[in-house]
Copies of this chain bind each other. A is one copy, B any other.
Amino acid sequence: MQTLIDTLYKKYASLNAGHPATYIPELAKANPNDFAIVVTTTKGEQFCAGDVDRIFSLQSTSKPFIYGMALEEHGREIVLEKVGVEPTGEAFNSIVELEKRTHRPYNPMINSGAIAISSLIKGENFEARLSSMHTMFERYVGHRLNVGKEVFESEKKTAHRNRSIAHLLRHFEVIDDGIDETLDLYFTQCSVLVNTKDLSMMAATLANYGVNPMTKMAAIPSRYVGDVLSLMFTCGMYDSSGEWAYSVGVPAKSGVSGAIFGVVPGEFGIAVYSPPIDEKGHSVRGLEVFKDLSHECNLSIFRKTVKVP
């Protein structure tokens, strides 16, 4: 595995395509040459290549974890009432399907669904809800994570579309009043800072049915891990989820900061970080690494066997 990821690192380090996200000014400052790959087994072993300590914000890679938290706090039934589990065929930030179809967000992996899920986080007040979110992330990664203040402010200031979505969700009574607080929670989850090793450990925790491979602590009840992985599989890569399922075949989630993580249940978690993204919002080097890894290791859940590293 180490040899393989070293090879992939070298192969794609020179791939120059895509650009760091520009719509959030803070993300535009990322170094396009940053590139890291980390595989973490369910036994806790880590295989690293590249800038694995470089810090970045979770952005949409936070969505599966917050979804899991909502399932734990409210149970399936209540969560399903608020947000569906259907792929949309629309872009990640689309507002159309809300209006034209069910008024319930299609799934928790697109912005409208994620904002609705954020509104569900329990707590007496904003600080308590924030603290609860931090505790959840800590269980996955094994240590406390910081929030990027500049990213948070940058998100908050430019999030006209997300604000529009939140008000439409309020109109359709998917969320309650307290829109600003809900959006602040949402911007915070997007602004949580990790490095590629952290994200890979979070992926490995899902691969290990919810138990952190190092700390042996449960980050999420195992009965909800399948729900999270299922959503990641069908909806995690937005409107290229079908192509991902077809060509890579593992549950995964990408974020506009340039991160993608994938889960091979029972085996290992994978995280790749590289800021240049394509027009659909996926890390260009990340897509290539995952395709090669899936092919080399036969990772697809619909292919015959999975080789342990």
Chain A residues packing against B (C-beta within 8 Å): 84-90, 94-97, 99-101, 106-107, 160-161, 163-168, 170-171, 209, 222, 225-227, 229-231, 233-235, 239-243, 245-246, 249, 251, 265-266, 300-304
Taking a contact as CB atoms under 8 Å apart, the answer to whether B246 and A242 are in contact is no
Taking a contact as CB atoms under 8 Å apart, the answer to whether A245 and B233 are in contact is yes
Distance A225 CA – B99 CA, assembled complex (angstroms): 35
Taking a contact as CB atoms under 8 Å apart, the answer to whether B302 and A240 are in contact is no
Q: What are the 5 tightest A-B residue pairs by CB atom distance, in nearest-first order?
A: A164-B167, A160-B171, A86-B242, A87-B87, A164-B168
**27 sampled A-B residue pairs with Cβ under 8 A:** A85-B242, A85-B246, A86-B242, A86-B243, A87-B89, A89-B89, A89-B90, A89-B106, A95-B99, A96-B96, A96-B99, A106-B242, A160-B167, A161-B167, A161-B168, A164-B166, A164-B167, A164-B170, A209-B304, A222-B304, A226-B302, A230-B302, A233-B245, A233-B302, A234-B241, A265-B304, A301-B301
Distance A101 CA – B96 CA, assembled complex (angstroms): 11
Chain B residue nearest in CB terms to A107 = B242
Distance A302 CA – B94 CA, assembled complex (angstroms): 28
* Residues of the B chain whose Cβ atoms lie less than 8 Å from the Cβ of A164: 164-168, 170-171
Taking a contact as CB atoms under 8 Å apart, the answer to whether B161 and A87 are in contact is no
Distance A138 CA – B118 CA, assembled complex (angstroms): 48
Identify 15 new A-B residue pairs, CB closer than 8 A, beyond the known A87-B234, A94-B99, A160-B168.
Answer: A84-B243, A96-B96, A160-B171, A164-B165, A164-B168, A164-B171, A167-B167, A209-B304, A225-B302, A227-B246, A231-B242, A231-B246, A233-B233, A233-B302, A266-B304
Query: Contacting A242 at CB < 8 Å: which of B84, B163, B165?
Result: B84
A244 to B: closest C-beta gap in Å: 9
Taking a contact as CB atoms under 8 Å apart, the answer to whether A242 and B87 are in contact is yes
A120 to B: closest C-beta gap in Å: 18
Asked whether A170 and B160 contact (CB < 8 A) given A230-B302, A249-B226, the answer is yes
A123 to B: closest C-beta gap in Å: 24
Taking a contact as CB atoms under 8 Å apart, the answer to whether A95 and B97 are in contact is no
Chain B residue nearest in CB terms to A243 = B85
Query: Contacting A302 at CB < 8 Å: which of B84, B239, B251?
Result: B251
Give the residue among A165, A170, A246 with the most B Cβ atoms within 10 A. Answer: A246
A281 to B: closest C-beta gap in Å: 15
* Residues of the B chain whose Cβ atoms lie less than 8 Å from the Cβ of A249: 226, 230
Distance A300 CA – B166 CA, assembled complex (angstroms): 33
Chain B residue nearest in CB terms to A239 = B86
A77 to B: closest C-beta gap in Å: 12
Taking a contact as CB atoms under 8 Å apart, the answer to whether A234 and B230 are in contact is no
* Residues of the B chain whose Cβ atoms lie less than 8 Å from the Cβ of A106: 89, 242
